[in-house]
Amino acid sequence: MQQTDHLSSVRELAQDVSFSAVARWKEETGGKAIGHFPVFAPQEIIRAAGMLPVGVMGAWGLLEVDYADSRVQSFVCSVARTTLELGLTGRLKELDGMVFTDICDVARNLSGVWKRNFPEMLVEYLHLPQNVTSAASVVYLERELERFKGKLEDLSGVKVGEDSLWEGIEVYNHQRELLQRIYRIRRESPWLLPADEAYLLGRAAAQMPVEDHVSLLERSIAEIEARTVKSRDNIRVLLLGPFCEQPPLELLRIVEESGCYVVDDELLQTYRWYTSAVPTNGNPLRSLAESYIERARLSSVRYQVRRRREAIVEWLKEARAEGVLFCSAKFCEPALYDYVLYKEALEAESVPYLHLEFEEKMSAFETVRMQVETFVESILFA
């Protein structure tokens, strides 16, 4: 397999749990950095305040949880425990703030624990609208974003103007468009770009300024499109479930080695939240708020107007997927609730599916390999 020349440095950057790229950025610019927990963050506003948004999504299984277990229960998902461990071991010392959203009780609890344990940081919990059908939701969210903007202005000393917000919206629109191109490659010619490589290219966004990530994606797409790689008789699958905690890289690799092409997934939601560009006219915060309500991807942690079951069947058809791998993080209740819902929809449509459970620290993948190989054979020889 041909690989991008810069892939090893992308991997190094994405998996750096000491966040040294953030420290370098701060030293060079004198700016502040704001961490954000999955699955959504208004990065445009953080950037407009002259700060670096930093995605904090756990620790890739690279950390032993020693301190976090004294603050959160050991039966919560890995991403909550290892994100806290990153903080308690000083690895997030470059962050001047941390933002959480109301995705589930675990995230809600974590934001409280964070506030108590890191009093020197700005800790913000964004209350996003749950009832997205109400006409008041957009106005409410615009005010919540305004409130958040005010907190960032106080911390940074930078008055956030409309121009810098529009600039941020445009550059993030461009980043999302490039990520969509990566996903288009995965749908149309998945043999050109392995799932784990596509994932690393997206995840690199967590630790770099958006402009640098845009350049990385542009260079990578040109290189990937020029590849000559033979296709294999793999089964096309949707990977559902890892919308918040991210599965180990090894798991993505094994899924494809075992005979699947992951043609779409729920990974890296923060960077793929909007299904189309955020409009660049009117009022920027209103535009972000409207887009959150009207252009959001299907997500287990957000109320959907459309019935989830119908949406999932439609998604399958669009992606021309032959089956579903439902890959849920251990102890993630929102994912498990959706599994029950999706299972019924898939069975009604006679779509084959397989449920896999993962956690950050898992190291034995042979069972997963066997399960996926059996799943693939069951489709091939049906």
Distance spanning both ends of the chain, measured CA to CA: 30
Closer CB to ligand SF4, residue 168 or residue 242?
Answer: 242
- Cite the DSSP H helix spans in 226-332: 249-257, 284-294, 308-319
Minimum Å gap between C-beta 50 and ligand SF4 is 29
Closer CB to ligand SF4, residue 266 or residue 322?
Answer: 266
Minimum Å gap between C-beta 100 and ligand SF4 is 9
Choose among 275, 259, 372, 255: nearest CA to 318. Answer: 275
Minimum Å gap between C-beta 98 and ligand SF4 is 14
Those residues whose C-beta lies under 8 Å from the C-beta of residue 219, and which sit 6 or more positions away, are 4, 6
* CB-based contact 247:264 (threshold 8 Å): no
Residues in the chain: 382
Task: Return the exposure string of 314-346: e unless at least 16 CB atoms fall within 10 Å of the residue's CB, then b.
Answer: ebbeebebbbbbbbbbbbbebbbebbeebeebb
* CB-based contact 158:47 (threshold 8 Å): no
Choose among 266, 271, 237: nearest CA to 328. Answer: 266
In whole angstroms, what is the distance from residue 242 CA to residue 211 CA?
26
Instruction: Give me the residues paired with residue 98 across strands.
Output: 35, 123
Minimum Å gap between C-beta 110 and ligand SF4 is 7
Closer CB to ligand SF4, residue 77 or residue 193?
Answer: 77
Minimum Å gap between C-beta 208 and ligand SF4 is 23
In whole angstroms, what is the distance from residue 39 CA to residue 338 CA?
16
Closer CB to ligand SF4, residue 152 or residue 251?
Answer: 251
Angle at 249 between CA 330 and CA 266, to 5 degrees: 65
Give the residues lining the site for ligand SF4 (CB under 6 A): 77, 79-80, 103-104, 106-107, 244-245, 301, 329, 332-335
Closer CB to ligand SF4, residue 106 or residue 185?
Answer: 106
Minimum Å gap between C-beta 243 and ligand SF4 is 7
- Output the six-digit token pair for 213: 């990530």
Minimum Å gap between C-beta 364 and ligand SF4 is 21
Closer CB to ligand SF4, residue 87 or residue 334?
Answer: 334
Closer CB to ligand SF4, residue 289 or residue 301?
Answer: 301
Minimum Å gap between C-beta 299 and ligand SF4 is 10
Choose among 246, 253, 198: nearest CA to 365. Answer: 253
Closer CB to ligand SF4, residue 101 or residue 173?
Answer: 101
